[in-house]
A and B are shown apart, each in its own frame.
Chain A
């Protein structure tokens, strides 16, 4: 597993900080925000690898950096950690051909599209870089990782807005189950913290704008004072492997993917239905494919973006599906600490769900001072909780009315 995100580089460091209740939200540094109502974000910290920061020169040859949008660079770094951690380095052609990549992104190279658009607007279309298109294309995160490691199996990508990460991991697991690959490097990456990204989501009235002076308090899922999501950037990558294949080579197995479910709302481009039935059906399908009942799940990593509408709709859907079992369930939103990583959210949150199982810890929902409504579900307000967690479900819902849920169980 590999993570690059607002709480730094490296899965173990990121997880420790998350469980400790640290926030990765801060004032936007990379451009002037004076004309924008939202001025904060969850940014990958600069710094050396040893400090848990990102110095691209430590990871990617300078000549190659300019051929990649930032989302690809972040995917590259997370994939490097994940692949090294997995110990999988196929030595023969058959092994390489049985290894695929499925790293998605919600938007792709938005900052390079912005720069290119400025050139065109200035009448300098002939000055567009030959690397503009391959820097911006969503599937080039997979493409670059495939080229770097020589993985010649399925070279694929998911693009489903904020559900991308879960779709990439779920679909990659299905490709393995269907026999298209033995190993899949899967996940999501996003880097939309630029004028186009912040401005665009501001225009859609999706971002938090009242906590610019207290960034760490801005992402507050289910809390009365929530006013929109905080954008985050980063990448999460996991190495999925067919069980017998992993066992045979003595691989470190964190967890098993046992369920995956998808649905569409067929309702609105940006809003979920008021009863949350789309999310409900995705979770139900995921549990059905796992062959388990809700009472067998101890932890849910919620989509929980800190928007006034979405949080309680998801809560209602979980309450309805879990019924009496809701009382024993822990559900938290780690976006309270990371912000919303859009197409990478489902991937980093899959990793948190897996680590929740490994360590028997539910990570906290920061800033949940006063829930907008009560619930029998424990939303792990402010402080992590030690809990016996054997099965965890993670939700991701995206614009366009797309919903996906994935279920993990402790390694067999």
Chain B
């Protein structure tokens, strides 16, 4: 697992209070990890803070799974 993936996983565990094992790449924040719409807003803010990236609202809406988040952040980092 990449460094970014590890970090994303850790943030998800901390913010949603879920077990690490549940945070698989396919896991959906809302359907599998018990997040509500406000939780996902906060989660995206935590990603922005941790990775120093900006995630616009329309992009944030498409980040629904752990994998979505990792891919978006890695793309941003590669572009930077």
Pick the most buried of A62, A129, A130: most chain B CB atoms within 10 A of its CB: A130
> Is A130 touching B38 in the complex (CB atoms < 8 A)?
yes
A-facing residues in B24-80 (Cβ within 8 Å)? 38-39, 41-42, 45, 49
Q: Chain B contacts of A63 at CB under 8 A?
A: 15-17, 39
Instruction: Tell me if A's interface is mostly helix, strand, loop or mixed.
Output: loop
* Contact indicator A129/B17 (Cβ below 8 Å): no
Q: How many Å from the CB of B15 to the closest CB on chain A?
A: 7
Inter-chain contacts of B16 with A (CB < 8 A): 63
Closest chain-B Cβ to A224's Cβ sits at a distance in Å of 53
Q: Which residue of A lies closest to B40 (CB)?
A: A130
Q: Which of A371-386 contact B (CB under 8 A)?
A: none
Within 8 A of B (CB), among A85-137: 127, 129-131, 134
A200 nearest CB across to chain B (Å): 29
Closest to B18 in A: A63
A-B contact count (CB 8 A): 18
B49:A129 contact, CB within 8 angstroms: no
Chain B residue contacts of A130, Cβ below 8 A: 38, 41-42, 45
Interfacial chain B residues near A61, Cβ < 8 Å: 17
Q: Name B54's closest neighbour in chain A (CB-CB).
A: A126
- B45 cross-chain contacts in A, Cβ below 8 A: 127, 129-130
* Chain B proximity mask over A126-167: 1 for CB below 8 Å, otherwise 0: 010111001000000000000000000000000000000000
Tell me the complex Cα distance, A129–B38, Å.
9
Contact with B along A371-403 (1 / 0, CB 8 A): 000000000000000000000000000000000
Asked if residues B42 and A62 are in contact (CB atoms below 8 Å), the reply is no
Give Cα distance in the complex from A170 to B58, angstroms.
Answer: 48
A62 touches B49 (CB 8 A): no
> Given the complex of chains A and B, what is the CA–CA distance between A127 and B17 in angstroms?
21
Q: Given the complex of chains A and B, what is the CA–CA distance between A67 and B36 in angstroms?
A: 12
Could you tell me if A131 and B42 are in contact, using CB atoms closer than 8 angstroms? yes
Give the nearest-CB partner of B43 in chain A. A130
Pairwise interchain contact B15-A129, C-beta atoms closer than 8 A: no
CB distance from A73 to the nearest CB of B (A): 15
Residues of chain A with a CB closer than 8 A to B39's CB: 63
Q: With A130-B45, A131-B42 given, can you name 14 additional A-B contacts, CB distance below 8 Å?
A: A61-B17, A62-B17, A63-B15, A63-B17, A63-B39, A67-B38, A127-B45, A127-B49, A129-B42, A129-B45, A130-B38, A130-B41, A130-B42, A131-B38
Measured CB to CB, the residues of A under 8 A from B are: 61-63, 67, 127, 129-131, 134
Enumerate 14 A-B pairs (CB-CB under 8 Å) in ascending A order. Answer: A62-B17, A63-B15, A63-B16, A63-B17, A63-B39, A127-B45, A127-B49, A129-B42, A129-B45, A130-B38, A130-B41, A131-B38, A131-B42, A134-B38
In the A-B complex, the 7 residue pairs with the smallest Cβ-Cβ separation, listed nearest first, are A63-B17, A130-B41, A130-B38, A62-B17, A130-B42, A63-B16, A61-B17
